[in-house]
Structure 1
Amino acid sequence: MKWQGRRESGNLEDRRGMSGGKVVAGGGIIGVIILLITMFGGQEAQNLVPVIEQFNQQQNTQTTERELTAEEIETGKFVDALLTDNEDVWNKIFKENGMTYKEPNLVLFTGQVETACGGATSASGPFYCPGDQKVYMDMGFFAELKSKFGAKGGDFAVAYVVAHEIGHHVQTLMGTSGKVRQMQQGMSEAEANKLSVALELQADFYAGVWTHHNEKVNQMLEPGDIEEALSAAHAVGDDAIQKKMQGHVVPDSFTHGTSEQRMYWFNKGFKTGDITEGNTFEKIK
């Protein structure tokens, strides 16, 4: 992916090299592994929770500080460029549709972090907190995405995840997230899960929309980039995660969508670039 030469966003908070404080499980793309099982998996799946928690246990709970490495500094510049590109695209799309885009902050952290949604650890994976309208990312997630869940990795896998989480911010600004949460009240578990899936797939669609528009302006894509995004989308499908963690799938417990669905909606956003084509609530492929 070509990303050098962008302006600085001004909305990046780099908290890496600092750790400590309360450790509480959070939510995000990989956080579905624990949250899906504890909330929706049933008694059989509940038995897997201790194994998964041990699998992702954070060892350092003492407050420490260290200097960032040269590689970490370069990574920070890369994430800043992604944030900048997302700002440019969504400011333009919102303006064209008579709306105002409020730019979110993106927080890079190591180990654990406190947010308006509570504390979170690296095991949560990247996530968006509507309480403070910030995206939180521990970059160690991407190594695990590749080593434990079979994704190809690469810089555009990072771009896809950033764009997906900012897609959740777009949903917050448009009121979609709030409406979904209201609709879920009083629903059966299976029906509420279907709405959660639609919300996540729409964020994948928005990631594709961002890719479409950013490519037009910056010609960022290199051979293999889209494949990296699709590989990441495939790796974090509910069915892929459940097969990996428990050997079988429970469709009624899905909260993020299957690998096929996630790839489909990212591709649709990438090919159309049209936010009106992303009604995942009407028809989930």
Structure 2
Amino acid sequence: MRWEDFRTSSNVEDRRGMGMGGAGGLGIGTMVILGLVGWALGIDPRILIGGAEMIAGGGSGYQQQQQGRQGAPQDEAGRFAAAILGNTEDVWNTVLPQQANRPYRAPKLVLFSGATRSGCGGAQSAMGPFYCPLDQTVYIDLTFFEEMQRRFRAGGDFAYAYVLAHEVGHHVENVLGILPRVQERQQQVGRAEANQLSVRVELMADCLAGVWAHHSNQRWKSLEQGDIEEAIRAAEAIGDDRLQKQSGGRVVPDSFTHGSSEQRMRWLTTGLKTGQVQACDTFRASRL
């Protein structure tokens, strides 16, 4: 992927090496356990961690979060993340007003190592990258890219860019007003239906990542031979069914929160081929 010529975003905060910060927070061991419990039960680990922090007297993680270095980092991994974020800004600043008649408000990107705090509570590496709608920020420990290569055999610049663009896709959903409506609905329904709503949100973010890549390639010729295959392998590797099989358990579709490998590949491809936000409406799709 040709990313070196992308504009690097200034909406980056680098907290790597800073630790958790803030008094009264949970220990790393406790956060890891809560993360594993949330994954096993199909509950967002951020909800469990945030609740535990409040019970422990930690208060709002957002109020306690530390401040890192502002602006694009100088190391290669940090520059890569800032460049991909900058390119998503350039694409969505044009595409969202044109296709959805909405102005685009760029999210912030926080780089951290080990653990940090977010507007949605504590965050730690085992949770993977995530978007917090409360502070409109994407959080990522960049060692996740090493984990993709080591555990899932899904490496490559475009595969890593897809991960970042997926989280930015959640921000686009937030700008469109989709995330608040889904979260409200999830509080009104049972677990199985709430999981289905989560799957639709995740698959739409996959598709929106494809929309970004479509327009980035049109304007900057950013994709090279093999890039699309990299991203598709990554989407396949992190499907719920694939992860459940790898963990040694049986596949339970009602517990899916992100979608199957086939679904994730298909919706990413839909965005790549069409470049249209409207084509990513997983909530109207008769078949996921």
TM-score (norm 1): 0.83
Structure 2 partner of 1:278: 280
Confirm or deny: 8 A CA contact 1:128 1:136 kept in the other structure.
yes
Unaligned runs of 5+ in 2: 44-72
Q: Give matches, 1:102-251, under 5 Å.
A: 102-148=105-151, 150-251=152-253
**1:19 Cα deviation (Å)?**
1.8
Query: How many angstroms apart in 1 are the aligned matches of 2:74 and 2:147?
Result: 17
1:19 match: secondary structure: coil
Say if 1:222 and 1:181 are closer, same or farther in 2 by CA, change over 3 A.
same
Structure 1 partner of 2:10: 10
Equivalent position amino acid for 2:91 in 1: V
**1:34 Cα deviation (Å)?**
5.0
Query: How many angstroms apart in 2 are the aligned matches of 1:188 and 1:172?
Result: 23
Larger CA deviation: 194-203 vs 176-185: 176-185
Larger CA deviation: 203-212 vs 91-100: 91-100
Structure 2 partner of 1:55: none
Query: How many angstroms apart in 2 are the aligned matches of 1:215 and 1:137?
Result: 24
Unaligned runs of 5+ in 1: 41-70
Confirm or deny: 8 A CA contact 2:159 2:231 kept in the other structure.
yes
Query: How many angstroms apart in 1 are the aligned matches of 2:5 and 2:125?
Result: 30
What is the aligned-residue identity percentage?
A: 50
Equivalent position amino acid for 2:7 in 1: R
Larger CA deviation: 273-282 vs 139-148: 139-148
Query: How many angstroms apart in 2 are the aligned matches of 1:263 and 1:235?
Result: 10
Confirm or deny: 8 A CA contact 1:197 1:254 kept in the other structure.
yes
**1:25 Cα deviation (Å)?**
4.2
Counting matched residue pairs gives 249
2:75 match: secondary structure: helix
CA RMSD in angstroms comes to 1.9
TM-score (norm 2): 0.82
